[in-house]
């Protein structure tokens, strides 16, 4: 996915947000690997100062995403 999105724009800031997705991040939608809130629930793609990042995030199941958050989904082959 990182290779397919290799022209993702650089984030306007390098702030690591707590409790919300960072500015410019693309959150990858996936099923959680663990129900433990301290275990990463997924990851996001972000470009900071020209450097591509892949970072994990943690959140509770009750987390409310912002309407401004951007997600990336993978469609099953029959829908491509």
Query: Is 24 among the domain residues?
Result: yes
Which strand ranges, in their side-by-side order, compose the sheet holding 70-72?
A: 51-57, 42-48, 26-28, 70-72
Q: Phi/psi at 77 (nearest 5 deg)?
A: -50, -35
Read off the pLDDT band of 52 (50, 70, 90). confident
Domain extent at residue 52: 1-72
Q: What whole-number distance in Å separates Cα of residue 37 and Cα of residue 32?
A: 10
Q: What is the number of domains present in the chain?
A: 1
User: pTM, whole model, 2 decimals?
Assistant: 0.72
Q: Which of 3-12, 18-27, 37-46 has the highest mean pLDDT?
A: 37-46
Query: Is 80 among the domain residues?
Result: no
Read off the pLDDT band of 80 (50, 70, 90). low
């Amino acid at each position: 996915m990182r290779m397919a999105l290799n022209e993702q724009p650089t984030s306007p800031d390098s702030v690591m947000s707590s409790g919300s997705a960072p500015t410019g991040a693309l959150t990858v939608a996936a099923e959680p690997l663990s129900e433990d809130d301290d275990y990463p629930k997924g990851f996001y793609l972000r470009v900071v100062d020209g450097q591509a990042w892949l970072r994990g995030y943690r959140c509770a199941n009750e987390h409310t995403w912002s309407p401004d958050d951007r997600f990336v989904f993978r469609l099953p082959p029959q829908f491509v």
